[in-house]
Amino acid sequence: MSGPVKSAPIADEHERRVTRLVQIGFVAALGALWYLATNVWGMSPILLPKPQGAFNELLDILRSGEFWPDLFLTLAELAGAFAISMTLGLGIGFLVSLSPVYVRIFEPLLAGVYAVPIILFLPLYVLFFGLGASSKIALGATISFYPIVLNTIAGFTSIDKLYVTSAKSMGASPTVLLRYVLIPGALPIILSGLRMGFTVALLSIIGSETIASLAGLGHRIVNLAESLEIARMFAYIVFVIAIAATLNGIVSRLEASRGMDK
Amino acid sequence: MKSGSRVFGFMSTYPRLSQLITVMMFLGAWEIVARFFVDKMFLSPPSRVYSEIDRVLNTKGLLQALSLTLYELTVAFAIAVAIGMAIGLSVGLNAFARRCFMPIILLLYGIPQIVILPLFILGLGIGPPSKIAFGVTHGIFPIILAIVAGVQNLKPVLLTSARSMGAKRWHIMRYVVLPHMMPSFFSGLRLGMTGVLLGVLLAELYVSTAGIGYFTGLFTQNFDPTRLLGLISLLAAMAIVLNEFMRTVERRLSRWRGND
Amino acid sequence: MQDQNVSVHIQNVAHSFGVEGHAKHVRALLDTTMDIHRGELLALIGPSGCGKSTLLNVIGGILSPTTGTASVNGKPVNGPMPHDIAYVFQENALFPWNTIIENIRLGMLFQGVPKSDHEGRARAALKAVGLSEFADHYPGQLSGGMRQRAALARALSLDTPVVLMDEPFGALDEQTRMVLGEDLSELLSRTGKTIIFVTHSLGEAVFLADRIAVFTARPGRIKEVIHVEEPHPRKASFMTSDKFNGLRNRLFDLLHDEIRKTVNLGSGSTGGF
């Protein structure tokens, strides 16, 4: 872990504490606003439930364990989608990166398609695969394929030619080159592609559950909205956000620990 | 091996043409699969989608829905840019504000916003306001982040040098900070546009009783892949044109970036 | 009390970075007092982190010293003094989004020169550094040496009695440095400006300076001041003279021990100045 020491400004303890305080104050103010709006200013509970009500609902959801089937389905869809996009993204990305010629031809095509909001394919996938899990998996896989494949290409092409030349000059075989130069060199960028892919896969799966589905966490929220059980819907929203934040946190952690150690 | 290397040679000599051929091959494969292997209730060949695009446009109310979507996009984008710029500048230009609020902004950005979409619809109805609002919340974050990054990456020596030459505060804003953040501002606009597009389309697809979502639902239930693909292609084309337009503007405005 | 001949006066200037008692506290510059005369070329030389750039920034008003004062033309320095001091930085400090001539005009706009004078003065400054033909190029289109010439033109156009240069040629290759050094000697002998410049190069210091202040390793202080006593403009032949070599060797001896000290303790935490 040697290297140039960052000439970071000397942010002392005091300043850090003030920053934290402002942040906590900001969140607390929002919470207070929520409380006041619903309890004192009489905001309609259909638009915004009372915080204490939503909290009780959350406790109830957690205690009853009714979230398990939905959570399990959403996570299974996520796993399926990510497995597909990872396999295809890494594989195709690697193949394309084998020659600058391929990169020049295929990278712009892939990047061009990426500009299309892929959520548009959802109706199509619903037509092909129905309202069940397969359409969600297909959409999640499609969306997360792009950041993975693009970053895989970027990762392999970002490697300094000097490393390759010097490894070859020392007699490295293609396998050795791949194992000890190309993969470690490309890894940080590939990992960040995987992280981005994971995030958008999660998003699109919950999204497609919200828009058109029969089950899953996204569907549960819509159901509650339609039956105007707003407090419980809020509780589910918080629950899903917490799950998403946890998953993203884990993935970012993984990326940081594997990507930075050189 | 011989023919393989000939293909490779062709690809390296004519990359543009190869791209075109790739796209043609994709369309060709789609055509064949759709014509001979898949029930036409599920998939239409591209030739048919193309030749019957007027049938999509003639669908009663669809043109209005499309233009309404475009209107929602425009309004949402304008609002997202205005608010995003205000927040981005006030957070980005002040180190203390940046330390306090950037973590909160990043946290909010990380939330899967789709889960609060039902709230938008409940609060603002199924008309344009809810879709505009949802577009704004999707577009605003990339804009804020781009502006904060744009303000931040300024080489300190440029500020020092401007000050040493007697630059006043507004001189620095006008002649140093502003031109410096132009390129990232525009890439922020482009990413913001992508975000707005996503937000508006999500909301449009979610509301199945009116707008684009109604028609995709209708075509899906009628097993009419021709019109469904036509509509999707139109929307996709819209997205690509918008994106390319923003990219052109971006390139124009950062020409000085030549090779520095 | 101050001599009319003194352009820059440094009185007991010392500087530390960070808060006293903290781990990151660094004493960069110890108590320093010095006078720089009008029209003089003073070189500051020393090992990395010896505080020579710190001293330059104190004079330029970019950094307020922990203790002591600097004054320029009798006025105490409390911040940038655009009418008295122009700066040439080590890095490329040209605005990349402006052409060379726009950069020069912008400097004058900041300084408050009437608009009608901008064009003429900018052209004259470009001519002085031999960049007339590149007025409408962007910095990104020029070589490193040309960029530093342009930065010098910008400083000259500001028409200040004092010019500070922080390793202006530090990032350039040896040949370019030599040519630029010659040009600079020529140019400066004509303008009669007071120049203070920081350098790492022994040759550059001897070739350009009237006096050379040699710094000790951190915490820095002036170890010795060497007088060059060779009229400007100096020709390339000066570089091969015995006098030049004698002074250069003397500098080398003075610096050698100091540099050893920094190299031996400096591989870990310090550096970056």
Assigned domain for B42 exists = no
CB contact under 8 A, B256 and C97: yes
Assigned domain for A57 exists = no
Q: Are B12 and A101 in contact (CB under 8 A)?
A: yes
Assigned domain for A151 exists = yes
Assigned domain for B47 exists = no
Probe site for chain B from A127, A195, A222, A243 (most B CB atoms < 10 A):
A127
Mean residue pLDDT of chain C comes to 85
Chain B residues touching residue A220 (CB < 8 angstroms): none
CB contact under 8 A, B166 and C140: no
CB contact under 8 A, C272 and A12: no
ipTM value: 0.81
Q: Are B200 and B72 in contact (CB under 8 A)?
A: yes
Q: How confident is the model at residue C272 (pLDDT cuts 50, 70, 90)?
A: very low
Tokens, residue A92: 């195709």
Nearest-by-CA chain C residue for A7: C272
C203 — contact with chain B (CB < 8 Å)? no
- Regarding whether A251 and A159 lie in a shared domain, the answer is yes
Q: Which of C24, C269, C271 sits opposite A10 (nearest CB)?
A: C24
CA angle C246, C252, C258 (to 5 degrees): 155
Query: What are the residues facing C41 on neighbouring strands?
Result: C195
- Regarding whether B92 and B205 lie in a shared domain, the answer is yes
Q: Residue A143: CB partners within 8 Å, gap ≥ 6? A: A85, A118, A119, A200, A201, A203, A204
Assigned domain for B238 exists = yes
Task: State whether residue C230 is helix, strand or coil.
Answer: coil
Closest approach of B3 to chain A, Cα-based (Å):
17
How would you list the strands of the sheet with C26-37, edge to edge?
A: C26-37, C6-17, C67-72, C75-76
CA distance A5 to B222: 64
Q: What is the 3-state secondary structure (H, E, C) of C15-70?
A: EEECCCCCCCCEEEEEEEEEEEECCCEEEEECCCCCCHHHHHHHHHCCCCCCEEEE
- Phi, psi for C214 (deg, rounded to 5): -95, 125
Gyration radius (Cα) of chain B, Å = 24
Chain B residues touching residue C97 (CB < 8 angstroms): 179-180, 182, 256
For each of the domains in chain C, give its residue range(s) and CATH number, in order of start: 6-84+161-265 (3.40.50.300), 95-159 (no CATH)
- Regarding whether B9 and B88 lie in a shared domain, the answer is no
Which residues of chain B from 61 to 120 reach within 8 Å of chain A, CB to CB?
Answer: 96, 99-101, 103-104, 107, 110-112, 114-119
**Amino acid C136: pLDDT:** 92
Nearest-by-CA chain C residue for B157: C93
Secondary element (H or E) of residue A184: helix A183-211
CA distance A261 to A143: 29
Nearest-by-CA chain C residue for B177: C95
Q: What's the domain count of chain B?
A: 2
CB contact under 8 A, A115 and B19: no
A13 — contact with chain C (CB < 8 Å)? no
Q: In this structure, what DSSP letter does residue C220 have?
A: B
Nearest-by-CA chain C residue for A6: C272
Q: How confident is the model at residue C100 (pLDDT cuts 50, 70, 90)?
A: very high
Q: Are C157 and C122 in contact (CB under 8 A)?
A: yes
Judged by phi (left if over 0) then psi (alpha if -120 to 50, else beta), residue B254 lies in alpha
**Amino acid A225: pLDDT:** 86
pLDDT tens digits, one per residue of A68-104: 888 999 999 999 999 999 999 999 999 999 888 888 8
Q: How confident is the model at residue A144 (pLDDT cuts 50, 70, 90)?
A: very high
Mean per-residue pLDDT, C211-217: 90
Closest approach of C33 to chain B, Cα-based (Å):
23
Q: How confident is the model at residue C120 (pLDDT cuts 50, 70, 90)?
A: very high
Q: Write the CA distances from A119 to A87, A128, A198, B198, B205, integer angstroms.
A: 21, 15, 16, 8, 9
Cα A125 versus chain centre, distance: 21
CATH number for position B160: 1.10.3720.10
Of A257 and C245, which is predicted with more confidence?
C245
- Regarding whether A30 and A111 lie in a shared domain, the answer is no
Tokens, residue C260: 């050893």
- Regarding whether A99 and A212 lie in a shared domain, the answer is yes
B225-253 vs B211-221: helix axis angle to the nearest 10?
140
Probe site for chain C from A1, A5, A13 (most C CB atoms < 10 A):
A5
**Amino acid C2: pLDDT:** 53
Peptide bond into C233 cis (omega under 30): yes
Chain C residues touching residue B160 (CB < 8 angstroms): 62, 87, 89, 93
Closest approach of A51 to chain B, Cα-based (Å):
15
- Regarding whether B131 and B13 lie in a shared domain, the answer is no
* Domain enclosing residue B26, as ranges: 2-37
Assigned domain for B158 exists = yes
Nearest-by-CA chain A residue for B41: A127
- Regarding whether A68 and A23 lie in a shared domain, the answer is no
Q: Which of A109, A202, A207 sits opposite B202 (nearest CB)?
A: A207
A12 — contact with chain C (CB < 8 Å)? yes
Summarize chain B as % helix, strand, coil (round to 5). 85, 0, 15
CA distance B14 to A48: 60
**Amino acid C270: pLDDT:** 44
pLDDT of A213 > 60? The answer is yes
- Regarding whether B156 and B28 lie in a shared domain, the answer is no
User: Neighbours of A (≥3 Cβ pairs closer than 8 A)?
Assistant: B, C
Assigned domain for B177 exists = yes
Q: Which of A23, A119, A206 sits opposite B112 (nearest CB)?
A: A206
Q: How many CB pairs under 8 A join B and C?
A: 70
**Amino acid C144: pLDDT:** 86
Q: Write the CA distances from A149 to A112, A194, A199, B24, integer angstroms.
A: 13, 9, 15, 21
Q: Are B76 and B204 in contact (CB under 8 A)?
A: no
Q: Residue B159: CB partners within 8 Å, gap ≥ 6? A: B172, B176
For strands C26-37 and C41-45, give the pairing. unpaired
- Regarding whether B96 and B26 lie in a shared domain, the answer is no
Assigned domain for B48 exists = no
- Regarding whether B225 and B155 lie in a shared domain, the answer is yes
Assigned domain for A2 exists = no
Q: Which of A108, A218, A225 sits opposite B114 (nearest CB)?
A: A218
- Regarding whether B122 and B15 lie in a shared domain, the answer is no
- Phi, psi for B48 (deg, rounded to 5): -75, -40
CA angle C141, B15, A95 (to 5 degrees): 105
- Regarding whether B253 and B148 lie in a shared domain, the answer is yes
Among the residue ranges A10-19, A40-49, A177-186, the one predicted with the least confidence is A10-19
* Domain enclosing residue A24, as ranges: 14-43
CB contact under 8 A, C22 and A7: no
Q: How many CB pairs under 8 A join A and C?
A: 13
Mean per-residue pLDDT, C244-270: 75
User: Neighbours of C (≥3 Cβ pairs closer than 8 A)?
Assistant: A, B
- Regarding whether A27 and A135 lie in a shared domain, the answer is no
- Regarding whether A143 and A27 lie in a shared domain, the answer is no
- Regarding whether B20 and B132 lie in a shared domain, the answer is no
- Regarding whether A75 and A200 lie in a shared domain, the answer is yes
Query: What are the residues facing A132 on neighbouring strands?
Result: none
Of C259 and B81, which is predicted with more confidence?
B81
Mean residue pLDDT of chain A comes to 85
Q: Are C56 and C273 in contact (CB under 8 A)?
A: no
Its pTM stands at 0.77
CA distance A86 to A84: 5
Assigned domain for B205 exists = yes
CB contact under 8 A, A12 and C22: yes
Secondary element (H or E) of residue C223: strand C222-227
- Regarding whether B107 and B183 lie in a shared domain, the answer is yes
Q: Which of A101, A108, A233 sits opposite B11 (nearest CB)?
A: A101
Judged by phi (left if over 0) then psi (alpha if -120 to 50, else beta), residue B190 lies in alpha
Judged by phi (left if over 0) then psi (alpha if -120 to 50, else beta), residue C51 lies in left
Q: Which of A4, A5, A12 sits opposite C19 (nearest CB)?
A: A12
Peptide bond into C219 cis (omega under 30): yes
Chain B residues touching residue C64 (CB < 8 angstroms): none
C273 — contact with chain B (CB < 8 Å)? no
> pLDDT truncated to tens, each residue of chain B (260 aa)?
456 678 888 888 888 888 899 899 999 999 999 888 888 888 888 888 888 888 888 888 888 888 888 899 999 999 999 999 999 988 988 888 888 888 888 888 878 888 888 888 888 888 899 999 999 999 999 999 999 988 887 888 898 899 999 998 899 988 998 888 888 888 888 889 989 998 998 898 888 787 888 888 888 888 888 998 999 888 888 888 888 888 787 777 766 665 43
Nearest-by-CA chain C residue for B181: C97
Assigned domain for A185 exists = yes
Assigned domain for A51 exists = no
Summarize chain A as % helix, strand, coil (round to 5). 80, 0, 20
**Amino acid A8: pLDDT:** 41
- Phi, psi for C17 (deg, rounded to 5): -100, 145
Q: What's the domain count of chain A?
A: 2
Chain B residues touching residue C80 (CB < 8 angstroms): 163-166
